[in-house]
Amino acid sequence: MDNSIDKQIDKQLTIIGSGPAGLTAALYAARGNLNPMVIEGFPPGGQLTLTTDVENFPGFPDGVMGPDLMNKFREQSEKFGAEIITGEVKEVDFSTKNFKLFLDNNTIINSKSVIISTGASAKMLGLKEESLLIGKGVSTCATCDGFFFRDQDVIVVGGGDSAMEEALFLTKFAKKVYIIHRREEFRASQIMLDRAKSNEKIEFILNCEVIKINNPNENKVTDVVLKNNKTDKTNNMNIDAVFIAIGHIPNTSLFKNYLNLNENGYILTEEGTKTNIPGVFACGDVQDWEYRQAITAAGSGCMAAIDTERYLANL
Ligand code: NAP
């Protein structure tokens, strides 16, 4: 860590992350006169800024574009006095009562309380084209995007519970769902696997990896190239969408020396949004491996702000 410090700021509350959880926490905290500062992180606005249409956020019967929704969240929290700053937290020190956050622009924030809403990132396959195609036929969220592929053929990549769950959900819309898994053994629980196997819309393609996604017109996937891991043979498969379900990585590396995490790295919370350190709260996908929706993240952001307000009042 570079020791040259340009600036120190004292805050009652600092919120790390600016997705639905962080900005909802900011809105409630600002309205509770806590003068919150939000360190927006990357991408500003969180995972929703990487999607296109959001049709399942209540209050938008005609849908809303992910980035537009996050701009509204931002505007609303700023209207009530939340201060949102560009930057990333590079290191934290939660060992003292006044927590220290070290930013990438040589600023230190001394904060009486902290809300962590750094989210989780979907694991990607590592193909150079895939992140450019998010929202254009490549998705990491069947709940968000499955509806767009009604009566079409889709693939789900992965062999864990997420892949089974995504595939089962997609059978409500798609004509056919192929699960592409790189091995013959599954990480998925037997019950989820059995459910997927007994669904007549689902077909398994095993020992195969997706090595290329073709989207010639830049707005519609046409096919993928599959490589058989046993024979090394490749073949093209015509398909309308690719759902990547190979797991998520919670963004918790900054906190692992201080906070209790579960075996997959998610922050463990109890009694609402409390972590094991009094005054440090967590909300949204960074502590939720179960629901992972914008609306549930926003709800837990509200809870974190209320929990923080009570904590500060009792100091
Ligand atoms: P996971 O259990 O780690 O499974 C990830 C799957 O993706 C594995 O089959 C893995 O293949 C495959 N994979 C990883 N990287 C890959 C790559 N680069 N290319 C191709 N395939 C790749 O992750 P998850 O399914 O997200 O589940 C995470 C946790 O959440 C689990 O504990 C799960 O039980 C839980 N969960 C529960 C539910 C539920 O109960 N309803 C739903 C979702 C998740 P290999 O097997 O070859 O490594």
186-234 pLDDT, tens digit each: 999 999 999 999 999 999 999 999 999 998 777 789 999 999 999 999 9
Look at residue 71 and tell me whether its pLDDT is greater than 70.
yes
Quote the longest CA-to-CA distance of the chain. 65
For 28-162, list the strands marked E by DSSP: 37-39, 53-54, 64-65, 83-85, 89-93, 99-103, 107-116, 120-122, 138-139, 153-157
The secondary element (H helix, E strand) that includes residue 204 is: strand 202-205
Q: What is the per-residue pLDDT for 250?
A: 97
- What is the mean predicted confidence (pLDDT) over 77-103? 96
- How high is the pLDDT of residue 50? 65
| Active-site choice (2, 10, 62, 145) | 145
Q: Which atom of ligand 1 is nearest to the CA of 185?
A: 46
Q: Is-contact 130 244, C-beta < 8 A?
A: yes
H-helix or E-strand spanning residue 208? strand 208-214
Q: For residue 309, what is the enclosing H or E element?
A: helix 294-313
240 φ, ψ (degrees, to nearest 5)? -100, -25
To test ligand 1's pocket by mutation, which of 127, 130, 138, 182 has the most ligand atoms within 8 angstroms of CB? 182
- Choose, from 6, 10, 141, 288, the residue flagged as catalytic: 141
pLDDT of residue 3 exceeding 60, the answer is: no
Q: Cβ(38)–Cβ(84) under 8 Å?
A: yes
Residue 145 annotated among the catalytic residues of the structure: yes
* Cα distances (angstroms) measured from residue 252 to each of 38, 115, 257, 305: 17, 13, 10, 20
pLDDT at 216 (0 to 100): 79
Catalytic residue (one of 2, 53, 104, 144): 144
Outline where 171-226 has alpha helix (H).
190-197
The runs of H, that is alpha helices, within 171-261 are 190-197
Atom of ligand 1 nearest to the CA of 123: 15
pTM value is: 0.79
Ligand 1 center–CA 166 separation, angstroms: 11
Q: How far is the CA of 186 from the centre of ligand 1 (A)?
A: 9
Query: Considering only CA atoms, which residue is closest to atom 40 of ligand 1?
Result: 161
Is the pLDDT at 83 greater than 90, yes or no? yes
pLDDT tens by residue, 135-170: 889 999 898 899 999 999 999 999 999 899 999 999
**Catalytic status, residue 208:** no
Q: How confident is the model at residue 308 (pLDDT cuts 50, 70, 90)?
A: very high
**In 3D, which of 146, 215, 217, 223 has the Cα closest to residue 180?**
223
Pocket test for ligand 1, best of 246, 248, 288, 290 (most atoms within 8 A of CB): 246
Say whether pLDDT at 177 is over 60.
yes
pLDDT-based confidence at residue 20 (cuts at 50, 70, 90): very high
141 flagged as catalytic = yes
